[in-house]
Amino acid sequence: MKGRKEKRSSKAVDGRRPMDASDGCKIALERKRVFWKSSARGNLETRLCVGAVMSSCLRRALFLRLRLRLRRGLSSAAAAEAKAPVELPPPRPSAGRRVVVTGLGAVTPLGRGVGPTWDRLVAGGCAVRALSAEDLRLPGDVAGKTLEQLPSRVAAAVPRGNGEDEFDDAAWTKDNKSVSGFIAYALCAADEALKDANWLPSEDHKKERTGVSIGGGIGSISDILDASQMIFENRLRRLSPYFIPKILINMASGHVSMRYGFQGPNHAAVTACATGAHSIGDATRMIQFGDADVMIAGGTESSIDALSIAGFSRLRALSTKYNSHPQAASRPFDCGRDGFVIGEGCGVMVLEALDHAKERGAKIYAEVRGYGMSGDAHHITQPQNDGRGATLAMKHALEQSGLQADQIDYLNAHATSTPLGDAVEINAIKSVFGDHALSGGLAFSSTKGAIGHLLGASGSVEAIFAVLAIHHGVAPPTLNLEQPDPLFGGAFMPLSAPKKMPIRAAISNSFGFGGTNAALLFSCPP
């Protein structure tokens, strides 16, 4: 700007600004006026000649002024045209793609693998056992003393070993120091699900259209406890450089995506006990909105350690009455329930756009028809007594699916075996399903009697159970239902034994601390 000002001033004469066409016009008019006045007595011929010359100057000045105005007008029009907003194209329609389940993988207290887990569940197997000092992951003497102080001494742990349906830690952690327990479960379950779906692409464009959505509830508390102990013992320099990557919940998704080279969405929900359901629901929407063609989705948790159990015990959330009879401790909907049994594991689904699945000839277990969410906005750990949050989540799932309440044949309840939580869900089921539930048309159960509460993994594992119920035509049972809650009556009663039946559609409920609720609705393959 400074250079431009100096350039302009250099053309000025005697400090005045340079002339333009307007100035020329004014000067010509003034000279003509002066000439006629001063030469009033002059020669007529001379006056006419000079007048003609001056008229020519005037015409020239007027022409220059007109041309300048024209140029300014064209320049303004061009600038206005350049500033005019370009009309945007309309947005792509949402929820335009149908989503199906093409692969399943699980690591649960009933065993490693979907097959062993489902077979034992339907057969009435129970994975709850007495807690041992080794489960607490503490030094020998400390572990024994800590175990004695815990009010709840039962748990549903993943069976470990080298057996066919046991989980081998070394197989997933020995080559990577940044893999903690919950990440290892996710890697194992994702591997099974991908092989089940026959989806292990090598082409870059397919990897770019495949994403991961695996979340967790509380991550690796045991690693945090170990690191804290190092600080107390002045051993800070021995802290592993992999400590932070081991405890970040999104690293489950990260490790799965890195292992297989998936470059689509890399997502991790953290919504307490609704995490698994939210992860599946969010992944479904990513496919519907065109962000991916395939998503690996689920929840994972490794929470059997001293600090987690002590923390939930202080909340009075865990069962304490059945320490001497562990397999009776998790009793959803039963009058004798006194809290949940802590569990661990992982459930993973391969979700896929219907057109993509059909194009490659994939087997289809079920279709994801609805995903409902809500918030209680009530209390940090307790639901509203009227069950409004759970009711809204189920209603939203139904609305999105386009199905009516009486078209749902099975419901996998969240029921964790807590006195308040189970009662609230019973009322919510009544509110949503009405006569369909009261007349016995709706089969429902809680599978936590068999596997305990897997926290962030519960929603995805139980969603797998809902899908398998549709696939096999069998509704799984509720264990330890000896004296049903008085809120039940007549035909409105949870299943206490497996029931063979055609299942057109099923809902899986998941509710978490903080008042977060999710309901997933699945239906028969299209």
Catalytic residue among 255, 278, 356, 453: 453
> Is 453 an active-site residue?
yes
> Is 273 an active-site residue?
yes
- DSSP code for 40: T
* Neighbouring residues of 416: CB distance < 8 A, sequence distance ≥ 6: 273, 332, 340, 422, 446, 448, 453
Contact 481, 494 (CB under 8 A): yes
Q: At what angle do helices 458-472 and 114-122 cross, to 10 degrees?
A: 70
- DSSP code for 89: P
- Cα–Cα–Cα angle for 382, 384, 390, nearest 5°? 100
Beta bridge pairs of residue 130: 154
Contact 330, 479 (CB under 8 A): yes
Beta bridge pairs of residue 294: 210, 352
With H, G, I as helix, E, B as strand and everything else as coil, classify residue 301.
strand
Alpha-carbon Rg for the chain in angstroms: 37
User: Burial of 230 by CB count in 10 Å (0-12 exposed, 13-18 middle, 19+ buried)?
Assistant: middle
Catalytic residue among 273, 346, 396, 436: 273
Tell me the CA distances in angstroms from 15 to 19, 22, 112, 510, one per residue in order: 12, 19, 93, 83
Strands 505-512 and 516-523: antiparallel
Catalytic residue among 255, 414, 436, 471: 414
Centre a 10 Å sphere on the Cβ of residue 466 and count the other Cβ atoms it contains: 25
Q: How far apart are CA 236 and CA 19, in angstroms?
A: 80
Centre a 10 Å sphere on the Cβ of residue 169 and count the other Cβ atoms it contains: 15
With H, G, I as helix, E, B as strand and everything else as coil, classify residue 434.
helix
Question: What tokens were used for 134?
Answer: 């080794």
- Cα–Cα–Cα angle for 311, 374, 280, nearest 5°? 80
Token pair 């949870």 is found at: 494
Handedness of CA 57, 59, 65, 71 (dihedral sign): negative
Q: How far apart are CA 391 and CA 379, in angstroms?
A: 17
> Is 471 an active-site residue?
no
Active-site residue numbers?
Answer: 273, 414, 453
